[in-house]
Amino acid sequence: MRVAVYYNNHDVRLEERPVPIIGPDEVLVKVWASGICGSDVLEWYRLPKAPLVLGHEIAGEIVKVGKDVNNWVVGSRVFVSHHVPCNMCRYCLSDHHSVCDTLARTNFDPGGFSEYLRVPSINVRNGMYELPSEMTYEQAVFVEPLACVYRGQQHVGWKPGRRVLVVGAGMAGLLHVRLAAQAGAAKVVAVDINQSRLEMASRFGADHTLIAGNDMIERFKDINDGRLAEIVVVATGAKSAIEQAFQAVDRGGAILFFAPTDPGINVNMPFNDLWRKEITMTSSYAGSPRDILAAIELISSSKMNVEEMITHRLPLEKTQQGFGLVAEAGASIKVVVEPQS
């Protein structure tokens, strides 16, 4: 089979590998669609593990089932989680599935930028979900990122009627914009350095957009009745954006840190001011099984029209082009690789 092997953001090679052999409690999935995530192009994170086959936002079709697998059949259309929790440890039982030790150790084989992948036994049990008949494979690549966004908004204490500031209008930021708007935010404002992404944010539900800058907070107050934001979502790892979030949040408000910085970055925190204003700060990483089910329902019910976020559809042999588009963070939003095309 063909696989796209990642060496760095500018070197993704099409190579041949044997189709994985499945065990008695595993399944083989034909990959029909695989999204390129912003985390796929974080070289500081990916290069130490390269070369490898990336791709974790996948949707496909079961083409082979191990003899001991009883609840799945050939032909089932599925979304498969690459990292899965054990559902039994103290972290999972306290609803912190994304910090489960098992989650960090699990993955499918080889990765979504391939024609086929082997789904290990624990992923079959804890991380495989049948797609509703009305959901396309392209829509299904949004299940994983939307589950992460849904979890983040739950963590930050989401309630309808809040005034929300989303800093960073990349793929994750746009999903935050759309979900907040769909879930009844009183006002959603998106901030980015890229005007084309802000135009996308307006399409996907932002009431106002702002170009990032030193005067961003005053400009936000001008369009928000002189008030600061009740919820600030930081969907970028830029240090300046994180530090501005401390100034942009209203008394009694909350900040969600949704993206990592580069390694070694230290952020200055106005601790006493945050303490006095009773600011809640939280972070979110990955999505739990419950969040994945919520994402599937949101997409299949058309509450989240995600397909229009796809800007590029590429065959497997053009995966390198896709990585370049995502790494440049220009006009592309969601780049989907289609290994069977």
Tens digits of per-residue pLDDT, 45-94? Answer: 999 999 999 999 999 999 999 999 999 999 999 999 999 999 999 999 99
For residue 307, the one-letter residue type is E
pTM to 2 decimals? Answer: 0.96
CATH of 157-283, one of 1.10.760.10, 3.40.1160.10, 3.40.50.300, 3.40.50.720: 3.40.50.720
CA 27, chain centre distance (Å): 25
Domain ranges of the chain: 2-141+287-338, 157-283
Tens digits of per-residue pLDDT, 253-272? Answer: 999 999 999 999 999 999 99
CA distances from 242 to 168, 266, 267 (A): 10, 11, 8
Structure tokens belonging to residue 37? 């995530």
The whole-number pLDDT of residue 330 equals: 81
Among 172, 181, 166, CA closest to 144: 172
The whole-number pLDDT of residue 197 equals: 93
Tens digits of per-residue pLDDT, 168-227? Answer: 999 999 999 999 999 999 999 999 999 999 999 999 999 999 999 999 999 999 999 999
* Rounded distance between C-alpha atoms, residue 113 and residue 326, angstroms: 15
CA distances from 224 to 137, 164, 265, 273 (A): 39, 10, 31, 21
Give residue 226's region: left, alpha or beta (phi > 0; psi -120 to 50).
Answer: left
Q: Which CATH superfamily is domain 2-141+287-338 in?
A: Medium-chain alcohol dehydrogenases, catalytic domain (3.90.180.10)
Name the pLDDT band for 302 (thresholds 50, 70, 90).
confident
Angle at 192 between CA 324 and CA 138, to 5 degrees: 50
Q: Please state the three-class secondary structure of 199-253 as a single string.
A: HHHHHCCCCEEEECCCCHHHHHHHCCCCCCEEEEEECCCCHHHHHHHHHHEEEEE
- Mean pLDDT, all residues of the chain: 96
Using an 8 Å Cβ cutoff, are 172 and 180 in contact? no
* Rounded distance between C-alpha atoms, residue 233 and residue 215, angstroms: 18
Instruction: Give the gyration radius of the chain's Cα atoms.
Output: 20
* Rounded distance between C-alpha atoms, residue 98 and residue 86, angstroms: 10
Among 281, 296, 326, 340, CA closest to 139: 296
Using an 8 Å Cβ cutoff, are 175 and 153 in contact? no
